[in-house]
């Protein structure tokens, strides 16, 4: 039973921090994947079918809202759990996240313990 988590962020230090935060889940057989922009995220989601995606909003090529909408509606991949992880913390942004199909909305700076705890819960570990 291999599980996959995809981290999507255009900032290298955030990708590294998230990968380090989720490192302990690799001992449980969880594979951590990385994408640097929205287009790469779409391709990775279609190919790898991750169980959980941490998705930034402000990215080049395709923003996180568009990625989330495409995955949940255009590609009809409903079983992927998408957490918007972004610095955009306004209520308007959170509502937009819900409208495009995000399962959860978290703001940066994030609490690493909360990220790990939520990942364990969502993956059923």
Mean pLDDT value across the chain: 95
Query: How many folded domains does the chain comprise?
Result: 1
The CATH number of the domain holding residue 69 is 3.40.50.2300
Considering the entire predicted model, what is its pTM?
Answer: 0.96
**Which domain range does residue 88 map to?**
3-123
What is the number of other CB atoms lying within 10 angstroms of the CB of residue 94? 17
Please, are residues 74 and 46 in contact by the beta-carbon 8 Å criterion? Answer: no
Burial class (CB in 10 A: 0-12, 13-18, 19+), 95: exposed
Bridge partner list, 52: 5, 81
So what's the pLDDT on residue 89? 86
Per-residue pLDDT tens for 43-95?
999 999 999 999 999 999 899 999 999 999 999 898 999 999 999 889 999 99
């Amino acid at each position: 039973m291999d599980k996959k988590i995809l981290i999507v962020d255009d900032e290298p230090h955030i990708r590294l921090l998230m990968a380090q935060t989720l490192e302990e889940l690799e001992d449980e057989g969880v594979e951590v994947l990385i994408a640097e922009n929205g287009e790469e995220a779409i391709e990775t989601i279609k190919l790898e079918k991750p169980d959980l995606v941490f998705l930034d909003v402000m990215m080049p090529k395709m923003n996180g809202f568009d990625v989330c909408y495409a995955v949940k509606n255009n590609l009809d991949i409903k079983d992927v759990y998408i957490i918007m992880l972004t610095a955009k913390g306004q209520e308007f942004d959170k509502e937009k996240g819900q409208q495009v199909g995000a399962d959860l909305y978290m703001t940066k700076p994030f609490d690493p313990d909360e990220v790990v705890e939520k990942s364990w819960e969502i993956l059923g570990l």
